Chains A and B, each alone.
Chain A
Amino acid sequence: MNPRVAKPLLLALLVLAVVVFPKVVDSNYWLNLVNLAISFSVACLGLNIVLGYAGQLSLAQAAFWGVGAYTSAILTTQFGVPVWLGMIAAFLVAALFGVFLGIPTLKLSGHYLAMTTIGFGIILQLILINAIWLTKGSDGITKIPSPWIGPLELREPYAFFYVAAVSLILLTWASIRLKDSRVGRAFLAVQGNEMAAETTGVDTTRYKIIAFALSAGYGGFGGWLFAHSGSHYISPDTFSFEQSVMLLAMAVLGGNGSAVGAIVGAVLLTLLPEVLRFLKDYYMMVYAAGIVLVMIFMPGGIAALVQGLPTTQRLKRWWHSGSEAARQVEIAAAHAQRATLQPAAATATPGGNGTLLGVKGLAKHFGGLKAVDGVDMEVRRGEIQALIGPNGSGKTTILNMLSGLYVPTAGEIVLAGENITGKKPHLITEHGVARTFQNIRLFGDLTVLDNVMIGQHCRTHAGVVASVLQSAAQRAEEAAMRRRALEVLEFVGLRGKEFAEAKSLPYGRQRVLELARALVSDPKLLLLDEPAAGLNASETEALIDLLFQIRDRGITILLVEHDMSLVMNVSDHITVLNFGKRIAEGSAEAIQKNQEVIDAYLGMEVANA
């Protein structure tokens, strides 16, 4: 069957299942439990966004769940706000808390967020207990109303089940769509390799905050579902650290990164106590031991187990065959011979030999160590320039400053007349500087195509809302990104590997992929850190060819390299460093004859060659 036909069919089946479910179960006890499981599921979907997509650990999901529950409960009981409005408020207020908490912590590494989120949970509980005028303190809020549809009150568990089920389906759908979009790819890039994400043009802090806010919003929505169902009563002790851990366990058991997995985890762990009743006092111990065992023996959770099955993989391939991406790849393959790398308007620099990059007095000190100590350098438009020197002479440090990873201690970097000194990496990428790394930094778990699409992040615009709703503009942009990515893959010779995982490529191909990812951002200046390291002779040959082709398309190249035959072969201009200072500059011939360079670096062999 064609997956395009199967889609509406599956949807119809899902609707049918939701409609008949309460009739089949027909027990208020179990329906209440299912409603609770759905509330947890929504919170876990949120965790899945921040943890599974963006790779950031939040230990306050129960707190956001509580923020949502209390926001709506207070608004509806004390201020008579309609329950549906409470729903929106629950989502927004929780998301807002997420933003406030994310701003100070998400610039830093994972442990800080984990810690701060715990602290937030504790402060929130203190406020819930002590701000009695607002929250009724430890007594909690009772008689929380149910939502109404016209004259119909959705109070019975089966009636509320429809609200919960529809919410869950819509929110799951949104989070799945989000994953496969510009925003979702940015999240995955942050998780895959933060430094690479930054230099590929993703504002990592911003995307971490977005992920965290969305996650908190989902948590708040889950809280809304909880407050207006079941016992219609909430109190501070429900929203504890232990509950946050429970939600985390659900998300991790289900499987990191899979929305459906998160739901499965939530449902399993909600129903588990019912099954394990006979354990009584031992239940929590068994549960805790279970968490540890899952961590040790099931690293990818249930999702990874299921995804590993051959049947699942076949299903996935079948499903995928109907996607827009697969169609575009097919078309590109059919027209392969015509695909050429068109330089974008920004990079089409007419032949002129002006200065593209000017570096003055650039310095970087680490404590007492002067890694780079006052270097002047110029890179001319449309040339290949090499930066060479012995190990520790400061070559990579200069590249790191040029790409914004290091803030220079002193000096100035001017790109095409604009001062870019000390700017954030993603802004520098936007200005037209792209780079590769000495030790390859790809997003290993993502496909080749996705890797290259992330490279266009800073040239595209779709945000969260557009990505979820898939507006016409968003779809057009997505298609254009894919087309461009395919062109570049064709150009570097990676066609046919579009849907392979980046980490599954052989080493040499990975280098080329990293180059493609940099190229696709339409750079004016391409920084290559030892592009030939680890390549064999024929791969190096191909690389040299590629470098010339890139230059001929108007892209200026600055490369750091130890392979002297490559350097002497391709470079229009060479800068030599030693101990953080420039010791020579000139054409390949001049450098080979320079006595100081021979003494410091080249030695006699190359000079005689």
Chain B
Amino acid sequence: MDLATNLQMVTAGLAMGSIYALVALGFVLIFNAAGVVNFAQGEFVMVPAFVAVWLMDFLNIPFPLTYLVTVLFMGLFGIVFQRIAYYPLRNRTFLPVIIATIGVSIFLKNAAQLVFGAEPFLMHRPTPADALNLRGVFVDPQYIVIILCTLALLGFQYFFFEKTMLGKKMQATAQDKEMARLLGIRVAKMIAFTFAYSSILGAAAGILVGPIFYVTKEMGGMLGLKAFCSTIIGGFGNVPGAILGGIFLGVIEVFAAYYISSAYREGFAFIILILVLLFRPQGFFGEKIAEKA
């Protein structure tokens, strides 16, 4: 196998991995803030993809405005979502919340089908369709956009959580709700913001992946599940772990599909997941945390 093909696969893997990382990040932030596993995380990607398709294809709104409206819409969406699927159930065990998020996810999928039909859409590309030829390595420019945008978002996130008051309040809420509440932080509001931010990360993923992936009601399901795998591979609850886990998974998947079997492409993430659970259940970056007696 020649170097050029391998490099092409690395780029594709990094791009896909970036998408996983964005969704995985959304997962982890919600889990840390609210202690909830959101099984509708994939729909946080599907919904903005449809919104963007609708704005561009049906209303002919230009790219930048579409992106802006989609992001704002998803921020709102996150807040409404947590009000339905999380807030009323916040004092119960993890089970009802998981089931409620699954319920919302089924609802959204079928709503999308009802509005847009079963035919898949392809989102307009902001980048040229021809592959770039970088010294014999052919790369889809959208891949590069995905990787760069993800990096930019991660940079923004670092700045936001480390340098702004709001970000710090959100972190405080994630670490210790009781203490945060005593310090006068409005915990419920911070959690709502976290859902909004997580949903905006989904918007970014949806907009970025839309042009290379068909936009269908099912597009989010697999993305969400693989993102969840990424979080466990990286170390559940660990933010850098989720990002690196996502990227790792994206690259591995491309290579495994090429060298092992493309028919089972969708299964590798879960095989890796089971291997990780068997041999390093705390993930690559996680620490073992014992429940306090």
Contact A112 B232 (CB under 8 A): yes
A116 interfacial by beta-carbon distance below 8 Å? yes
Complex-state Cα separation, A129 to B265, whole angstroms: 13
CB distance from A558 to the nearest CB of B (A): 15
Q: Give every chain B residue within 8 A of A112 (Cβ-Cβ).
A: 232, 236, 277, 281
Residue contact B221 to A400, C-beta cutoff 8 Å: no
Residue A118 CB within 8 A of the other chain: yes
Please indicate the chain B residues that have their CB under 8 angstroms from the CB of A296 in the complex: 88-89, 96, 100
Contact status A282-B114, CB under 8 Å: yes
Q: A114: nearest residue on chain B (CB-CB)?
A: B98
Contact of A115 among B228, B271, B290 (CB under 8 A): B228
Separation of A112 and B290 alpha carbons in the complex (Å): 16
Which residues of chain A are within 8 angstroms of B107 by Cβ–Cβ distance? Answer: 285, 288-289, 292
- Name A366's closest neighbour in chain B (CB-CB): B290
Contact B110–A120 (Cβ < 8 Å): no
A110-B95, A126-B267, A295-B96 given as contacts; is B293 within 8 A of A288 (CB)?
no
| B85–chain A nearest beta-carbon distance, Å | 7
CB contact under 8 A between A437 and B106, given known A116-B273, A122-B225: no
A119/B274 in contact, CB under 8 A:
yes
Convert A354-396 into 0s and 1s, putting 1 for each residue whose CB lies closer than 8 angstroms to a CB of B.
0000000000000000000000000000000000000000001
- Chain B residues near A245 (CB-CB < 8 A): 102, 106
Q: How many A-B residue pairs have CB under 8 A?
A: 123
Question: Smallest CB–CB gap between B35 and chain A, Å?
Answer: 10
Contacts of B114 in A (CB 8 A): 281-282, 285
Q: Which of these, A195, A292, A405, contacts B84 with CB under 8 Å?
A: A292
Binary interface encoding of chain B residues 101-126 relative to chain A, with 1 for a CB under 8 A from any of its CBs, else 0: 01111110011011000000000000
Contact across chains for A116 and B37 when beta carbons are under 8 A apart: no
Q: In the complex, what residue of chain A is closest to B94 when comparing beta carbons?
A: A110
Q: With the chains together, A152 CA to B264 CA distance in Å?
A: 43
In angstroms, Cα B236 to Cα A112, docked, is 10
Interface status of A123 (Cβ within 8 A of chain B): yes
**How far in angstroms is the closest Cβ of chain A from B99?**
5
Query: Does chain A have a CB within 8 A of B278?
Result: yes
User: Is residue B269 within 8 Å, beta carbon to beta carbon, of the partner chain?
Assistant: yes
Instruction: Check: A488 CB closer than 8 A to any chain B CB.
Output: no
Tell whether, in the assembled complex, residue A406 and residue B290 are in contact, meaning their CB atoms are under 8 Å apart: yes
Q: How long is the Cα–Cα vector from A399 to B103 in the complex, in angstroms?
A: 43
Which of A101-109, A177-185, A329-337 participates in binding chain B?
A: A101-109
CB-based contact A111/B99 at 8 Å: no
Residue of B nearest to A293 (CB): B103
Closest residue of chain A to B272 (Cβ to Cβ) is A119
Q: Determine if B178 is an interface residue (Cβ-Cβ < 8 Å).
A: no
Task: Using known A-B contacts A112-B277, A126-B263, determine if residue A119 contacts B269 with beta carbons closer than 8 Å.
Answer: yes
B176 at the A interface (CB under 8 A): no
- A195, B274: Cβ atoms under 8 Å? no
Count how many chain B residues have C-beta atoms less than 8 Å from C-beta atoms of the other chain. 45
Nearest residue in A to B225 (C-beta to C-beta)? A118
Query: Is B270 in contact with A122, judged by CB distance below 8 angstroms?
Result: yes
Q: How far is the CB of B193 from chain A (nearest CB, A)?
A: 22
In the complex the two chains form, is A287's CB within 8 Å of B106's CB? yes
Task: Among B89, B92, B95, B222, find the residue whose CB has the most chain A CB atoms closer than 10 A.
Answer: B95
Interfacial chain B residues near A119, Cβ < 8 Å? 225, 229, 267, 269-270, 273-274
Is A292's CB under 8 angstroms from B103's CB?
yes
* Contact between A299 and B273, CB atoms less than 8 A apart: no
A399 to B293, CA, bound (A): 9
Q: How far is the CA of A57 from the CA of B99 in the complex (A)?
A: 10
User: Which residues of A have CB within 8 Å of B97?
Assistant: 295
Q: Using Cβ atoms and an 8 Å threshold, which residues of chain B touch A51?
A: 95
Contacts of A242 in B (CB 8 A): 106
B57 contacts the other chain (CB 8 A):
no
Interface of B (DSSP majority class): helix
Find chain A residues with CB under 8 A from B232 CB: 112, 115
Decide: A123 and B267 in contact? CB cutoff 8 A. Answer: yes
- Mark contacts of A279-308 with chain B using CB atoms, 8 A cut-off: 1 yes-contact digit, 0 otherwise: 001101101111110011001000000000
Q: Are B270 and A120 in contact (CB under 8 A)?
A: yes
Within the complex, the shortest CB–CB distance from A441 to chain B, in Å, comes to 8
Q: Residues 458-483 of chain A: 1 if any B CB is under 8 Å from the residue's CB, otherwise 0?
A: 00000000000000000000000000
Q: Is B290 a contact partner of A405 (Cβ separation < 8 A)?
A: yes
Mask of B228-244 contacts with A, CB within 8 angstroms, 1/0: 11001000100000000
8 A Cβ contacts from A215-252 to B = 241-242, 245, 248-249, 252
Minimum distance in angstroms from B84 CB to a CB of chain A: 7
Q: Does B291 contact A (CB under 8 A)?
A: yes
Residue numbers in B under 8 Å from A282 (CB-CB): 114
B162 within 8 Å of A (CB atoms): no
B277 touching A116, Cβ below 8 Å? yes
- Which A129-180 residues have C-beta < 8 A from chain B? 129-130
Contact of B270 among A123, A241, A399 (CB under 8 A): A123
A130-B264 CB under 8 A given contacts A291-B102, A295-B103, A400-B293: yes
Assembly CA distance A285 to B277 (angstroms): 35
- Given A122-B225, A282-B114: A115 in contact with B273 (beta carbons within 8 A): yes
Chain A residues whose CB sits within 8 angstroms of the CB of B222 once the complex forms: 122
Q: Are A104 and B102 in contact (CB under 8 A)?
A: no
A44: shortest Cβ distance to chain B, in Å?
14
Contacts of B92 in A (CB 8 A): 299
A108 in complex: contacting residue of B102, B110, B277, B291, CB < 8 Å: B277
Q: A116-B273, A119-B274 are in contact. List 13 more A-B contacts (CB 8 A).
A: A105-B274, A111-B37, A115-B37, A119-B229, A123-B267, A126-B266, A281-B114, A285-B107, A289-B107, A295-B100, A296-B89, A296-B96, A437-B293
Q: List 25 A-B contacts (CB under 8 A).
A: A57-B98, A104-B278, A104-B281, A105-B277, A111-B94, A114-B98, A115-B225, A118-B270, A119-B225, A119-B229, A119-B267, A122-B270, A123-B264, A126-B266, A130-B263, A284-B106, A284-B110, A285-B110, A285-B111, A288-B104, A291-B99, A295-B96, A295-B100, A296-B89, A406-B290
A residues near B (Cβ < 8 Å) are 51, 55, 57, 104-105, 107-108, 110-112, 114-116, 118-120, 122-123, 126, 129-130, 195, 241-242, 245, 248-249, 252, 281-282, 284-285, 287-292, 295-296, 299, 396, 399-400, 405-406, 437-438, 529
Closest 3 A/B residue pairs (Cβ): A119-B270, A291-B103, A288-B107
